[in-house]
Amino acid sequence: MIVLMQNQELPKLDELYKEIILEHYREPCGKVPLEHVDYEAEGMNPLCGDEVKLSLQLKDKTIEKIHIEGHGCSISVASGSMLASILKGKSINEAKQLSLFLKDMMHGKVDKNEKDIGDLEALEGVKKFPVRIKCALLPWTTFEEALAGHEHVEIS
Amino acid sequence: MFDLNRIRKDFEILNRKIWDGKPLVYLDNAATTQKPDVVISALTKYYKEYNANIHRGAHKLAEEATTAYEAVRDKVKKFVSAIDEEVIFTRNTTESINLLAYSLGELLVNEGDEILLSEMEHHSNIIPWFLLRERKKCKIIFAPINENYELNYEKLEKLITKKTKIISITHKSNVLGTVNDIKRIANLAKTNGSIFIVDAAQSVPHMKVNYKELGCDFLVFSAHKMCGPTGVGVLVGSKELLFKIPPFLGGGEMIKKVTFDGFTPNDIPWKFEAGTPNIADVIAFGAALDYLEKIGLENIYKHELELTEYALEKLKQFDFLKIYNPVIASSPSRAPRNDNYSGAGIITFSNPVVHPHDIATIIDQYGVAIRAGHHCAQPLMKKLGVSATARASFYFYNTKAEIDIFAHALKKAFDYFEVGACKELKLKGRSNDSPNAKPGAAKIR
C-alpha cells in the first residue's frame, strides 16, 4: 500500500511531484512489447544521461499501441508513461496537437485549462522548475521525432 | 591557523539565502568553487586601474598589465613545485588536453599507435583523443578500474606496450574521488618511453601536488576549481617537449615573424597562447593562488577529509544508498582510511528508487546545491551500471553544520519517495493493458 508523504514543509515540491506523477513513476505504462513497430525513435538528454526509446504501432492512422523504455528521473518517466496511456487510440493528428499543446503549456504560452488534457495537467507544476522542463518534454520530443522518421534525437 | 569562521567571511556568496531564506549549502565544488573577495577585487582592480593589452604596448598601463600577467606564471610554478618547467595559460583543463592531443598527436602519433587512458576519465580526457584517432587512426585503450573504484595497476601495466605513445590519466576522479598512484604510472611511462599527461583538475585545488615528485610530463588543471575565475586553464610541462611540438592555435602573440610566405612561431610559452589572452582572469587567478597558499593545502586537505568522514558517518543512516567511493569500497565498516588522499572531498551516490535529479531538486529546496547526472563521465557511469548519480563535493569553506543540513534534506527526499519507510519498494513495470492498471492513471476525457 503506497501512502504518499506530502511535504508539509515545502509546498512547492508538492506542485512538482503531484501524486499522479509519482504513481506513473512507480508503475509506468507502456511496457508491453508491440507486435510490429511502425515508428521508432531514441531520445536522450545529454546533460543528464536520461534515455528513452519509444516505439509506435499504428492501425490505419490511429496509434494502436506505444512501447516505451529507458531510464530517467520521476518527471521524465511519468511523462513518458502518461504519453503511452494518453496517446493510445488517438489519431496521429490529435497526438501531434496534444504534444504541441503540452510544449506550449510548459513554456507558459497556453494555460492548462484551454484544453482537456487529463493526467497531463499534473505536469504543469514542472513549469516552476525550469531545469526540469526538459525532463518532462523528452518523451514528447522523442515521439515527434519518431513520427518525423528520425531515429535519434538529443535534447540540449 | 585554520579559522573556518574567518575563512567563510572571505566569501560573500556564502551569506546567500536560497528560496524563502534558507542559507546556501554549496556542495558542488568539484564542478566549480566559490571565489573569495580578494579574487573578485583583483579582477575589478585590473579593469578599473590598469586594463591594457599585454606584451605589445609601450605605455605604462601595458607594462603594468604585462608584469601582473607574467607574474602569475611564476606563482603557478611555485604552487605545483615546477621550477624548470613552462606554464601555458589556456581557457580550461579541457583546452589544455585538446592542445596536447593535437600538438603531441601531430608530432608523435601514427597509424596503429596507442593512447592509454583509464575508465575513470572525464569526457575532457576522452574526446580530444577520439578526435586524434579520427586524424591519425590510432587506438584508444582504457585501463580498467577494480571493485574498490581504484585503477587495476597490474592490468594497466600490461596495457603499456611499445605502441603506447601517450598515457593520459586523471590524478583524482571527479566522480569517485579516487586518487591515482601517479608516481607508479610515471615510472612505467618513463621506462616505456611514453609521454605521460596528468589531469589534475580535481587534485591541485585540494591537496599539495608536486610536479617534480609525480614525474609526469604534463600537468593540466583549471583556475575556477580552485577559487579562481572561470576561463583560465593551466598546462605545466617540459620545455623540451613544448619546444618540439607544433603550435595548436594560430594568430597574434604566438608568432615571431610573419611574411607573405609563412611564419616563425614565437618562443614558448607564447607559442601556445594565440590572440589576446584572458588577462584579467589570469591576474585574478594569481590572487587565488596566494589565497590558497595562505590557507595551506595541507589544512585544506585535512579539513576536507574530516568533512568526508563526518558525511560518510551521517550517510550510514541511509543503508539503501550505494556510495561510489574507494574509502567505502575497501572498508566494509565504512571507516575511512587515512593512509592516502583517496576518496576525500567527493561523495557520489545513488539508489534504485529515487533518481539523482529528483534528489537534487528536492534538496535544493533546502538550499543544498549538489550535482546530479553523469558528471561528464558517461563511460564510467556505464561501468558502474548506472545512468546517473548524485554527487556532493566539499571545499575548505564547508562546515559540519552544512553536512547536517545536507543529511537532513536527503532524509526528506527519501521520505518523500518513501525510501527507508518501505525499503523493499521496487519499481515495477506496469502495462496499460494489464487488468491491474489503475483506471485513474490513464484518463482521457
Q: Give the percent of chain A with pLDDT over 70.
A: 90
Taking CB atoms and an 8 Å cutoff, what residues of chain A touch B445? 116, 118
The answer to whether the CB atoms of A20 and B441 lie below 8 A apart is yes
Tens of pLDDT, residues A50-87: 899 999 999 988 999 999 998 899 999 999 999 999 99
* Structure confidence at residue A150 (pLDDT): 61
State the nearest Cα–Cα gap between B108 and chain A, in angstroms.
33
Q: Which residues of B touch A (CB under 8 A)?
A: 19, 354-358, 361-362, 365-366, 372-374, 378, 381, 387-388, 412, 415-418, 421, 425, 427-434, 437-438, 440-445
The grid cell for A91 is 489519431
Q: Is pLDDT above 80 for A97? A: yes
The answer to whether the CB atoms of B432 and A22 lie below 8 A apart is no
Of B373, B417, B443, Cβ closest to residue A47: B373
* Structure confidence at residue A14 (pLDDT): 86
Considering only alpha carbons, which residue of chain B is nearest residue A126?
Answer: B361
Interface test with A, best of B348, B432, B434 (most A CBs within 10 A): B432
**Could you tell me the CATH superfamily of domain B4-30+297-416?**
Aspartate Aminotransferase, domain 1 (3.90.1150.10)
Of A17, A20, A24, Cβ closest to residue B416: A17
Domain that holds residue A40: 29-151
State the nearest Cα–Cα gap between B281 and chain A, in angstroms.
27
* Structure confidence at residue B132 (pLDDT): 98
Considering only alpha carbons, which residue of chain B is nearest residue A20?
Answer: B441
**Strand-strand pairing, B368-369 and B263-265:** unpaired
Taking CB atoms and an 8 Å cutoff, what residues of chain B touch A29? 430-432, 437, 441-442
* Alpha carbons B209 and A75: distance in angstroms, whole number: 42
* Alpha carbons B302 and B150: distance in angstroms, whole number: 21
The answer to whether the CB atoms of B432 and A30 lie below 8 A apart is yes
Tens of pLDDT, residues A27-59: 999 999 999 999 999 999 877 778 999 999 999
φ, ψ at B258 (rounded to 5°): -125, 135
Topology classification of domain B39-293:
Aspartate Aminotransferase; domain 2 (3.40.640)
Of B387, B418, B441, Cβ closest to residue A5: B418
Q: Which residues of chain B have pLDDT under 70?
A: 328-340, 420-445
Helix (H) or strand (E) holding A118: none
| C-beta separation of B59 from B400 below 8 A | no
Considering only alpha carbons, which residue of chain A is nearest residue B390?
Answer: A48
Dihedral sign computed on CA atoms, order B53, B58, B64, B69 = positive
The answer to whether the CB atoms of A73 and B357 lie below 8 A apart is yes
The answer to whether the CB atoms of B421 and A74 lie below 8 A apart is no
* Alpha carbons B29 and B398: distance in angstroms, whole number: 10
What CATH number does residue A73 fall under? Answer: 3.90.1010.10
Taking CB atoms and an 8 Å cutoff, what residues of chain B touch A89? 444
The answer to whether the CB atoms of A51 and B432 lie below 8 A apart is no
State the nearest Cα–Cα gap between A92 and chain B, in angstroms.
16
Q: Among all residues of B, which ones are annotated catalytic?
A: 376
Is residue A62 assigned to a domain?
yes
Is residue A97 assigned to a domain?
yes
φ, ψ at B221 (rounded to 5°): -160, 175
* Structure confidence at residue A9 (pLDDT): 65
The answer to whether the CB atoms of A10 and B365 lie below 8 A apart is yes
* Structure confidence at residue B443 (pLDDT): 29
Taking CB atoms and an 8 Å cutoff, what residues of chain B touch A77? 355
Instruction: Give Cβ neighbours of residue B335 (< 8 Å, ≥ 6 apart).
Output: none
Dihedral sign computed on CA atoms, order A80, A86, A92, A97 = negative
Position A155 confidence tier, pLDDT thresholds 50, 70, 90: low
State the nearest Cα–Cα gap between A109 and chain B, in angstroms.
22
Of B372, B378, B428, Cβ closest to residue A27: B428
* Structure confidence at residue B110 (pLDDT): 98
- In total, the C-beta contacts within 8 angstroms joining chain A to chain B are 113
Is residue A122 assigned to a domain?
yes
Taking CB atoms and an 8 Å cutoff, what residues of chain A touch B369? none
What pTM value is reported for the model?
Answer: 0.89
* Structure confidence at residue B117 (pLDDT): 98
* Alpha carbons A102 and B224: distance in angstroms, whole number: 39
The closest alpha carbon to B56, from B252, B234, B229, belongs to: B252
ipTM: 0.85
The reply to whether B39-293 shares the fold of B4-30+297-416 is no
Question: How many domains does chain A fold into?
Answer: 1
